[in-house]
Amino acid sequence: MKGSLTKATARRTSPTKTAATKMVMIGWAIAQTIMIGTPAIAQTPRDPLSYSQLLKKIDAGEVTKVEIDEAQKVARVKLEGQKPNDPLVEVPLLERNPELIERLRANKVNFDSQPTADNSALMGIVANLLLFVLVIAGLLMILRRSTNSSGGPGQAMSFGKSRARFQMEAKTGVMFDDVAGIEEAKEELQEVVTFLKKPERFTAVGARIPKGVLLIGPPGTGKTLLAKAIAGEAGVPFFSISGSEFVEMFVGVGASRVRDLFKKAKENAPCIVFIDEIDAVGRQRGTGIGGGNDEREQTLNQLLTEMDGFEGNTGIIIIAATNRPDVLDSALLRPGRFDRQVQVDLPNYKGRLRILEVHARNKKLSSEVSLETVARRTPGFSGADLANLLNEAAILTARRRKDEITALEIDDAIDRITIGLTLTPLLDSKKKRLIAYHEIGHALLMTLLKNSDPLNKVTIIPRSGGIGGFAQQAFNEDMIDSGLYTRSWMTDRITMSLGGRAAEEEIFGESEVTAGASGDIRAVADLAREMVTRYGMSDLGLIALEGSSSGEVFLGRGLSPRSEYSEEVATQIDEQVRAIAMQCYAQARLLIRENRALVDRLVEMLLEQETIEGEQFRAIVADYCEVGQPANVVG
């Protein structure tokens, strides 16, 4: 795509560059012509003379007239017998020619010494000036045409002018019906549209519409889409600009653009001004590594003044979007500037279902595809992720030359987004068998542990990024949305995460364990430490020993979190974390050891099929338990 864009840009700009290049080449040709001069039309003499031959002819009396040009070091000679119309013979002279003058006087030859005017220096200066003027004219033409194509004449010199896109009647093509999954945010923003259309409904009871609305949420949740929907619904002048467009390399340009933006907005009030990614210009002042940035801080100061300064902005509603509210300046967030902050969170199950229904309108889905099932399988997906999911499924469908998107393409698209691209399956080898035991260890504990999330599928088909296989869970969405994780769930999750390493050690021995569990061990350490230091789920008691340290570098609060406990307590924390991990690991090894026959049976099936779905896996485990085998469910 990048190459095609480059070619397209070259095609757009080639006429301008070609015209300027032609002008420069013409000027260069003219200059060279002037400098070199037009040669005189002359006939080449039949017998050119040398300096010594000229002296001999003077002594012999064969020379009638000589014109000496000292400037060009040439003597023009007329010999006896030449016709009046014949050109004079040019003889090159030496640096000094005293003997020539003596010979001419001695032989009484008529001679004249008048140098011709040497205008070469003057012509060179004139030619260089002409070339310089032509080059400047060509550059100005290129600059003017490039600025015309990007927004009108004179834009290149208008650094302080606002670059906001303006629409008198915003036609974004997006309405509130096209925005799904964020109903609470839509309801709050609907009031903004209603105020712009029917302000008397609010002013009659003394209400004042918020001057600013800040949309906060993770990337891809639909903040910019909401702003487009507001513009499409309101039908009022709409200004849209990105926060990064205020900041330039020249100090003061951003503040000037802010003034120009609000000047235009006042002239078109009532209107909406949308600033996307406001954290690019609204970061806290005087913080961060190396101090503040003068240009950004001046721009922020001007923005604060324009939003709620000495002069009011009646009829102007500011809507901004960011996914980093923690770095914004407190003066920007106060009432009077951004009176209302709208949280645009990740959609829940119902929201994901509505989003899928919106994006599935122009997709050819097979009748077997259940959007409800897809919505349940995608907890934590944003609206952008769901749109990308259906698009990837459509691409896979076209690649496989199918007419409709089936459930297989949906499943493959989910795995591709969450895990990675599918690679060529491994050949039957020791490595493949080891991976199978590792993944069966995870999958079996997902099934046996009472408080663990159920298995979705287990596979040994490798994925990009060095993933040899994976055991995927179907997470409990209610727990994820609420964040109320129980101690039993955390303990079972640690045990399940160590199931792969436990299977390797039980089957192959301690000396044959691999580094494949490095990611699992790191996740176990993080979760166990949170249980000890943040959630009070250890023998240390109900003490919060560590807090969240995210964003401290950006907020200028240091490069590392401040230690909130002594070295003795740190040692106790490490001991508690290790005790939790070792206890869960012992339990994982016990379950693998007691169900060794079931593990071997599942591994053989996985090697044959390469993928086992969760329902089939649970059915095998249930059948094994019914015949009296020790597949004990721990809880």
In angstroms, rounded to a whole number, what is the distance separating the alpha carbons of residues 443 and 500? Answer: 9
Q: What are phi and psi of 421, to 5 degrees?
A: -70, 145
Confidence of residue 56 (pLDDT cuts 50, 70, 90): confident
Interval 540-549: pLDDT, tens: 888 877 765 4
517-524 mean pLDDT: 92
pLDDT of residue 340: 85
pTM exceeds 0.85: no
- Checking if the pLDDT of 527 tops 90, the result is yes
Report the topology of domain 165-343.
Rossmann fold (3.40.50)
Q: Residue 75 forms beta bridges with which residues?
A: 68, 91
Q: Which CATH architecture has domain 15-140?
A: 2-Layer Sandwich (3.30)
pLDDT at residue 60, rounded to an integer: 80
Overall average pLDDT of the 477-495 stretch: 83
At 171 the pLDDT is 63
Q: Which CATH fold topology does 349-418 show?
A: Helicase, Ruva Protein; domain 3 (1.10.8)
Q: Report DSSP letters for 267-329, one per residue.
A: HT-SEEEEEESGGGT-BPTT-STT---HHHHHHHHHHHHHHSSSS--TTEEEEEEES-GGGB-
Q: Is 404 annotated in the active site?
A: no
* Whole-number percent of the chain with pLDDT over 70: 77
Does residue 614 or residue 548 have the better pLDDT?
Answer: 614
Please state, in angstroms and rounded to a whole number, the distance separating the CA atoms of residues 372 and 129: 76
pLDDT of 1? 41
Q: Which residue has the higher pLDDT, 252 or 159?
A: 252
Contacts of 322 (CB under 8 A, 6+ apart): 214, 215, 216, 223, 277, 278, 279, 282, 328
Q: Does the domain spanning 430-626 belong to CATH 1.20.58.760?
A: yes
H or E element: which one contains 343?
A: strand 340-343
Q: Is the peptide bond before 210 cis (omega within 30 degrees of 0)?
A: no
Stretch among 22-31, 463-472, 529-538, 587-596 having the lowest mean pLDDT:
22-31
How confident is the model over 136-148, as pLDDT tens digits?
A: 888 888 776 655 4
Lowest mean pLDDT among 202-211, 410-419, 552-561: 552-561
Q: Which residues pair with 343 in a beta bridge?
A: 216
Each domain of the chain, given as residue ranges in start order, spans 15-140, 165-343, 349-418, 430-626
Q: Does the pLDDT of residue 39 top 60, yes or no?
A: no
Q: What is the pLDDT of residue 5?
A: 40
Instruction: Give the separation between CA 435 and CA 428, rounded to whole angstroms.
Output: 11
Catalytic residue among 90, 295, 439, 504: 439
